[in-house]
Amino acid sequence: MRENGRNGAERDKQRHERDEYYMRLALREAEAAMAEGEVPVGAVIVQGDRLLAAAHNQREQLRDPTAHAEMIAITQAAAARNDWRLEGCTLYVTLEPCPMCAGAIVQARIARVVYGARDPKAGACESLYRLVNDPRLNHRAELRGGVLAEEAAELLRRFFRERR
Amino acid sequence: MRENGRNGAERDKQRHERDEYYMRLALREAEAAMAEGEVPVGAVIVQGDRLLAAAHNQREQLRDPTAHAEMIAITQAAAARNDWRLEGCTLYVTLEPCPMCAGAIVQARIARVVYGARDPKAGACESLYRLVNDPRLNHRAELRGGVLAEEAAELLRRFFRERR
């Protein structure tokens, strides 16, 4: 029992380190968005140890309202796998997904979502809706929020401060 | 007063005829999806008398879980206008939008959504969620459902019957 407990704690620690590692990549994408004058949000998609996608918000540059970081990453990952089903994949994103992106996560059957900062105004994983684990929909994702949340929130605050 | 009432009824009639006209274009797109082995859903986007986009579901062909009819139409319309804001536009779609597409409608600030058949399993305009007119989000769209619903539903039934 004691051994199991110790192994469980070790596994949790490894998972948390892994989550922080990939969230740092997502934060790097958010910084790239910032440098391009876009709202700084970044996302990566991972399957096992394979990085399938890394993207950032490009709404202004692409003049496309659907060009959120998560949407671009999902399209990239599906292209990398040559399959629209992203079963077994984890999506890391610096900001809680909006309804569009949370809906896309369900459509893509992504297994796990890890996000950074909460979005009280439009978040659709926990804040306004719980779209990624609605038992009425045909897929549910495991969810973890708050990973490197302060770094993600600080980038957003800096962006909106500089814009004023 | 009587004149106003008569004009109001006339305007409603013209609007309904116009809705049916554009929904027939959306149905034609749904038929194109069907012919390509895709779940038959079609969408068009109109601004005044200008048709900005016409698209159908291409999830299988593009191997992209985000390639619903509405998403492709929104990206097309934004490209046609060279602006991600689709203010003043109406989106016609043969099936009630899912959470991803309803979320994209809000992101794109589409003024009006007209849909055909209801989707009790995943519809996010009236069935499971009311995403396009949630007062907490930063945009709301006017909504009309049930336009040529039977034609749209029959296409979907035929598709799933033939697949079995």
Task: Name residues of chain B where pLDDT drops below 70.
Answer: 1-4
CA atoms in the 13 A half-sphere facing the CB of B26? 35
Among B58, B107, B126, B134, the residue to mutate for chain A (most A Cβ within 10 A): B107
Cα angle: A120, vertex A40, A147; to 5 degrees: 60
As a whole number of angstroms, the distance between CA B25 and CA B37 comes to 19
Within 8 A of B137 by CB-CB distance, chain A residues are 99, 122, 128
pLDDT over 50 (residue A1): no
CA of A22, closest CA in chain B: separation in Å?
Answer: 23
So what's the pLDDT on residue B116? 98
As a whole number of angstroms, the distance between CA B129 and CA B115 comes to 15
ipTM score assigned to the predicted complex = 0.95
pLDDT over 70 (residue A11): yes
So what's the pLDDT on residue B20? 98
Q: What is the 3-state secondary structure (H, E, C) of chain B?
A: CHHHHHHHHHHHHHHHHHHHHHHHHHHHHHHHHHHCCCCCCEEEEEECCEEEEEEECCHHHHCCCCCCHHHHHHHHHHHHHCCCCCCCCEEEEEECCCHHHHHHHHHCCCCEEEEEECCCCCCCCCCCCCHHHCCCCCCCCEEECCCCHHHHHHHHHHHHHHHC
Instruction: For chain B, say whether A85 makes contact (Cβ under 8 Å).
Output: yes
Within 8 A of A59 by CB-CB distance, chain B residues are 84
Give tens-digit pLDDT for A122-154. Answer: 999 999 999 999 999 999 999 999 999 999 999
Active site annotation includes A3: no
Higher pLDDT, A101 or A8: A101
So what's the pLDDT on residue B23? 98
From A29, A70, A96, A126, the catalytic residue: A70
pLDDT over 70 (residue A25): yes
